[in-house]
């Protein structure tokens, strides 16, 4: 349930253009593996923000172990290099799983210093099943249509209703995509990356991934360490908790982040009039939830939809002023209109989000084994709920199709790597979506890697968001491979950006770099 990037950020969509053949750059390193490079036919697909953007498509095997079998298509984008020095392709991924990467190429190329960005072909791609790649999944249109059952299973009837939704989603995926689901997983996506590398004519790639994209990058590096030149991983997935454990850990971290938001609201009581005591503000939020469970606002925002609306605030504190204004209007002014508008901007699901969720479920359910016994889910999530009521059950039902998934699960990949060139990792200490321990764990697993920590930061996706300290380390690494000196735990520490203030006037949009980035990051994961 991504925030609406078009509403909040004004980010332009990738536009189709006329086909124009672009010859391979003579200075680009050639494809490895003994196979000739495929010729990608790049076409112009410029936007107002990114006038040099190009697009292409690449057929790849559905099953990489059967290269002569069924083919699927990956959609690619790139901002070509213009500098005399060419450092090869920089593949970028926004996370998810299920996030579309086509627009991320333009954002990264325009956000890096020009002298660095112009030395790379910055390449975005829609992973298999996503967006403009074909086939694009949509298992069960309308799955998130409001008003859904209360996420809190306080009665057997409510639990049955949520279980029925999860089972129906999994069954619909199985009916529509029976031949595809066994090949939607991180290993297959990593093998697609190597097909992209070969099609680009590169012996090695540079890779920059956010969130789930850090796991995808680590898996690729495990499969092909000799084909990695530079590796940047921002907001790191814990590779030892793929994926059931990771979601339970998220519940605790999101609860802490939600309480940080409520404390921020209390701090700005002059603007929101909900009290100066964070516990009082928290009680008001849960009272709002209880009221909406009985009488949804605008016929659209019940308890589950309220949670969907406020979860993005755990990813990015730039959304806090908008969420707080809607919260205050409902509680203090008895006005549900701003809350309904906030739901439309932050929580409502459109066709692109349905696609993102379908791929999210397909990859997470296939990547690793999930409990099939409802008692395990029930016990684990009630235990988590006692400590973290904010999104535990919402998250449980979000992932519950994995209890019924029709494709056999793989085993998680051990991404431990002792031969990879030094990687650069970024992690905020209070990140809710990928808690801090994930960055520390992967740092230990990748020999020679460096970990840059944003102390006190709670956003998810922290580079290219306005923190000059973080971006300085990123730029130095991409410019010439410079890394911070090795430290005992974190190798470099940067102070966090300050939290925003209340809106001074009613604002319809924000165009800060952080807001644009968080509109582009991958589907909730």
Which of 224, 460, 473, 518 does the annotation list as catalytic? 460
Q: Three-state SS string across 211-233, please?
A: CHHHHHHHHHHHHCHHHEEEEEE
Burial 212-248 (b: 16+ CB within 10 A, else e): bbbbbbbbbbbbbeebbbbbbbbbbbbbebbbbebbb
The question of whether 431 is a catalytic residue gets the answer yes
| Nearest alpha-carbon partner for 233 in 431, 61, 87 | 431
- pLDDT score of 21 more than 60: no
Q: How confident is the model at residue 506 (pLDDT cuts 50, 70, 90)?
A: low
Percent of the chain having pLDDT more than 70?
91
Q: What kind and span of H or E run contains 479?
A: helix 468-480
| Phi, psi of 230, deg, nearest 5 | -135, 145
Burial status of residue 483 (CB atoms within 10 A of its CB: 0-12, 13-18, 19 or more): middle
Instruction: Dump pLDDT digits (tens) for 414-453.
Output: 999 999 999 999 999 999 999 999 999 999 999 999 999 9
Which of 77, 211, 449, 465 does the annotation list as catalytic? 211
Q: How confident is the model at residue 525 (pLDDT cuts 50, 70, 90)?
A: low
- pLDDT score of 95 more than 70: yes
The question of whether 211 is a catalytic residue gets the answer yes
Instruction: Dump pLDDT digits (tens) for 102-139.
Output: 999 999 999 999 999 999 999 999 999 999 999 999 99
| Phi, psi of 382, deg, nearest 5 | -65, -35
Instruction: Dump pLDDT digits (tens) for 303-353.
Output: 999 999 999 999 999 999 999 999 999 999 999 999 999 999 999 999 999
- pLDDT score of 94 more than 50: yes
The question of whether 258 is a catalytic residue gets the answer no
Which of 431, 443, 449, 473 does the annotation list as catalytic? 431
Q: What is the DSSP string of 341-396?
A: HHIIIII---HHHHHHHHHHHHHHHHHS-----HHHHHHHHHHHHHH-TTTHHHHH
């Amino acid at each position: 349930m991504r925030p609406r990037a078009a509403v909040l950020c004004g980010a332009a969509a990738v536009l189709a253009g006329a086909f124009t053949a672009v010859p391979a750059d003579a200075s680009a390193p050639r494809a490895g593996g003994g196979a000739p490079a495929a010729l990608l036919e790049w076409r112009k697909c410029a936007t107002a923000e990114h006038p040099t953007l190009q697009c292409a498509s690449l057929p790849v095997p559905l099953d990489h172990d059967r290269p002569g079998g069924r083919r699927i298509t990956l959609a690619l984008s790139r901002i070509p290099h213009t500098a005399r020095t060419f450092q090869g392709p920089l593949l970028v991924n926004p996370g998810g799983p299920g996030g579309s990467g086509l627009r991320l190429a333009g954002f990264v190329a325009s956000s890096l210093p020009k002298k660095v960005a112009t030395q790379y072909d910055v390449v975005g791609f829609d992973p298999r099943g996503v967006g403009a790649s074909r086939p694009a999944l949509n298992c069960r249109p309308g799955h998130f249509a409001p008003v859904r059952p209360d996420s809190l299973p306080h009665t057997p009837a409510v639990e049955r209703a949520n279980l029925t939704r999860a089972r129906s989603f999994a069954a619909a995926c199985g009916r529509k995509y029976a031949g595809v689901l066994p090949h939607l997983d991180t290993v297959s996506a990593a093998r697609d990356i190597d097909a992209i590398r070969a099609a680009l004519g590169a012996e090695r790639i540079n890779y920059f991934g956010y969130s789930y994209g850090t796991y995808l990058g680590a898996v690729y590096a495990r499969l092909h360490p000799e084909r990695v030149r530079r590796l940047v991983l921002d907001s790191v997935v814990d590779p030892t908790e793929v994926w059931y454990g990771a979601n339970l850990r998220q519940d605790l971290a999101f609860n802490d982040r939600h309480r940080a938001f409520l404390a921020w609201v209390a701090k700005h009581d002059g603007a929101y009039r909900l009290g100066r005591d964070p516990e009082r503000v928290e009680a008001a939020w849960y009272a709002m939830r209880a009221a909406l469970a009985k009488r949804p606002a605008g016929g659209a925002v019940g308890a589950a939809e309220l949670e969907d609306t406020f979860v993005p605030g755990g990813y990015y504190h730039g959304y806090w002023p908008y969420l707080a204004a809607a919260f205050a209007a409902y509680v203090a002014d008895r006005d549900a209109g701003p809350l309904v508008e906030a739901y439309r901007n932050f929580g409502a699901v459109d066709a692109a989000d349905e696609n993102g969720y379908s791929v999210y479920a397909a990859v997470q359910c296939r990547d690793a084994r999930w409990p099939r016994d409802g008692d395990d889910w029930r016990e684990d999530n009630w235990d988590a709920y006692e400590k973290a009521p904010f999104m535990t059950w919402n998250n449980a039902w979000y992932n519950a199709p994995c209890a019924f998934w029709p494709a056999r699960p793989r085993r998680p990949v051990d991404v431990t790597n002792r031969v990879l060139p030094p990687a650069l990792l970024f992690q905020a200490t209070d990140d809710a979506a990928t808690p801090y321990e994930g960055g520390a764990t992967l740092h230990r697993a990748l020999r020679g890697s460096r970990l840059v920590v944003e102390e006190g930061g709670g956003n998810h996706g922290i580079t290219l968001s306005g923190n000059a300290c973080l971006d300085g380390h990123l730029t130095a690494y991409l410019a010439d491979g410079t890394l911070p000196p090795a430290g005992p735990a974190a190798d470099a520490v940067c102070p966090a950006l300050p939290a925003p203030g209340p809106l001074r006037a009613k604002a319809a949009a924000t165009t800060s770099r952080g807001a644009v980035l968080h509109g582009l990051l991958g589907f909730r994961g």
